[in-house]
């Protein structure tokens, strides 16, 4: 089983994240989804909230609002309606 999966977070304007991560917590329309390597394929509507992910033991966060999540074969794609890093 792989130790990481590729996480991509983008808006229609820009790509915010393209990293191999060990886990992610993503705000879906009906609650948070926890993703780990080897997660089953899924398609989910996103809600608003803080998307967090872990790279080499360090937790990072992005605020997102709406959009879609596609998870397949150790690759998670988030197309958010809007998103910003917490430093913005």
- What pTM was computed for the model? 0.93
Beta bridge pairs of residue 78: 9, 69
CB of 26 closer than 8 Å to CB of 46: yes
Residue 74 is part of a domain; what is its CATH number?
2.60.15.10
Instruction: Give tens-digit pLDDT for 10-62.
Output: 999 999 999 999 999 999 999 999 999 999 999 999 999 999 999 999 999 99
**Count of domains forming the chain:** 1
- When pLDDT is cut at 50, 70 and 90, the band that residue 88 belongs to is low
Range of the domain at 39: 5-85
């Amino acid at each position: 089983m792989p130790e990481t999966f590729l996480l991509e977070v983008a808006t229609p304007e820009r790509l915010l994240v393209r990293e191999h991560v060990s886990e992610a917590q993503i705000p879906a329309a009906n609650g948070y989804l926890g993703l780990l390597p080897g997660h089953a394929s899924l398609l989910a509507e996103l809600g608003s909230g803080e998307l967090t992910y872990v790279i080499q033991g360090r937790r990072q966060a992005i605020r997102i609002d709406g959009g879609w999540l596609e998870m397949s074969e150790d690759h998670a794609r988030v197309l958010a309606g809007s998103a910003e890093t917490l430093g913005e």
